[in-house]
Amino acid sequence: MAAYTTLTPLIQNDNLKQQVRMAIAVSAVNITNESAATTNHAARIAWAKQALTDPDAEYPRVIWYVLGANNPALVSAITGATDATVQSAVDAAVNLFAS
């Protein structure tokens, strides 16, 4: 388990920042392609538009969620996460923020 004091600086980790920002964009695009019958679709579309307009504004909220949800992991596992792993974590955050 990573200590909180070692997790917090990861917010500024360039590679993780790029992965999370891109995962935000992918989540937003996926939302634009989902069925209108999806639960909370209107709120999710509003979030997607905002996220695609300014992913840097969404990054701080999402990275806190991602790091908090993965605090049992070692820092090396977080910074070495695959794109798919990061995408999964961001998608979970989006389900919270886009509802």
How many domains, in total, are found in the chain? 1
- Please give the Cα distance from 65 to 93 (Å, whole number): 6
Cα angle at 36 between 33 and 37, to 5 degrees? 125
Average pLDDT, the chain: 93
Average pLDDT over residues 3-23: 94
Q: Say whether pTM exceeds 0.85.
A: yes
pLDDT tens for 53-96 read: 999 999 999 999 999 999 888 899 999 999 999 999 999 999 89
Segments forming the whole domain that contains residue 40: 4-97
